[in-house]
Structure 1
């Protein structure tokens, strides 16, 4: 996934997470909003962690190549 796609995905997921989070904070506790909030939150965490792991592996491989 290139950098622009990653940034776009994080922005869309963050906006959706905020949207469903505001529904929950307003007191609208339908099961749909709870599930969508959790799914979006998990997706945001997954994208951030996968990007972090990819950067870490690229850094590790570049360091081993320089030796």
Structure 2
């Protein structure tokens, strides 16, 4: 879910041709991915959230966004 979120942020700031369409589609994709994560009956739910470890990109991205 992080990749569509970051792409959505990029489109929001870029405001280029067709950005509104892309923003809408990325938001729909995030909603569908979140639904799949919360309704999954397997152990794959862990991949839907950032681990936040020191070696992961998720921690770095979170620190930059703050």
Which bracket does the TM-score occupy, shorter chain normalised? Answer: 0.5 to 0.7
Unaligned runs of 5+ in 2: 43-66
Number of matched pairs: 42
TM-score normalized with structure 2 length? 0.53
User: Residue 48 in 1 paired to residue 39 in 2?
Assistant: no
Unaligned runs of 5+ in 1: 1-9, 59-67
TM-score normalized with structure 1 length? 0.52
The higher relative CO (CA closer than 8 Å, separation ≥ 6) is in 1
- In structure 2, the residue corresponding to 1:40 is in which secondary structure? helix
Q: Distance in 2 between matches of 1:49 and 1:13?
A: 14
Q: Distance in 2 between matches of 1:14 and 1:46?
A: 12
Which protein has the larger Cα radius of gyration, Structure 1 or Structure 2? 1
User: Residue 21 in 1 paired to residue 12 in 2?
Assistant: yes
Write 1 or 2 for the structure with the bigger share of helix: 1
* 1:6 equivalent in structure 2: none
Q: Distance in 2 between matches of 1:22 and 1:49?
A: 26
